[in-house]
Amino acid sequence: MASVAPPVFKPFTLTLIQLGSIGSDKAANLQHAREMIVKAAKGNLDKKPQVVVLPECFNSPYGFVHFPAYAENIGYTAGKEYDIQASVSESVKMLSSAAKEFGIWLIGGSIPERDAETNNIYNTCTVYSPTGALIASHRKVHLFDIDIPGKITFKESETLTGGTTTNYFDTEFARIGLGLCYDVRFPELAMIAARRGCHAIVYPGAFNLTTGPLHWELLQRARANDNQVFFSMCSPARDMTAGYHSWGHSMVVDPYARVLAEADENETILHVDIDPEPFHEARAGIPVTKQRRFDVYPDVSA
């Protein structure tokens, strides 16, 4: 279990940026992402976000052949203060600057990361506090290697290495777990996050037009229901001119597995109020968190 108690769960607004126009020009991708963060951070008349989320691979085209060319050295080590000014990652600097300017918690989707020591490439999510500090990261643990005959073949392991840690971060209003896309198919990761005190779990992701209709909503509702947490995935917008066609449909699900909000396939911004009441209500009424039989089966979070 987590060594530090989670913060008291308080209401907050979660904002998902379903980003479009992700092309081959990294500078243009970063500029557009920043413009959308600015738009999202300003909120609307009744919702100003505390947490803003970008989609998976927001700074590059999605494809294992692209990852090496767009990879950046981040050099973050958990538990150690990160020097933003000394960072050589242009994506990290943009995200940090935006988080600080608007005073938001920013889950920076993911970017291809090249480890300076091993030269391995990871699909990495970075998280920033309202001061602009890089305070957490998650390297995608489960690589997207699939082959559905006649529909889609994709093999991230051609160029990527899988991460080896589970991760979350604390805000003043919630503990939030992290994952990336294909990680959602492996319930253990969400179980571990929930049992370490996470109130919400956020996975930037990019399902496609084959797996999206089948499992995008199903898996999010399953992870929310299994663990009685809020669960959300943030997708890129669909671009039929790109090499990879994202499903879109960024979503937020509550601890009863009810869909609170869902985008269509187009570029958009979702503002969703997260109310702790269903979290407490679900756990009190259907107390599975207190009924597990670890004398019969192992606790994956131990």
For the annotated catalytic residues, the residue numbers are 56, 140, 181
C-beta separation of 20 from 39 below 8 A:
no
User: Is the Cα dihedral 239, 243, 245, 250 positive or negative?
Assistant: negative
Nearest to 213 by CA among 258, 248, 261, 170: 248
C-beta separation of 171 from 105 below 8 A:
yes
Residue 94: φ, ψ to 5° = -65, -45
Residue 61: φ, ψ to 5° = -60, 150
Q: What are the CA-CA distances from residue 62 to residues 121, 124, 145, 160, 247 (Å)?
A: 14, 13, 14, 12, 13
C-beta separation of 109 from 53 below 8 A:
yes
In the DSSP assignment, the letter for residue 185 is: G
Structure tokens at 180: 């990336």
C-beta separation of 208 from 181 below 8 A:
no
Return the SS3 of 112: strand
Q: What is the DSSP string of 206-239?
A: --BTTHIIIIIHHHHHHHHHHHTSEEEEE-PPP-
Return the SS3 of 75: coil
Residue type, 139: R
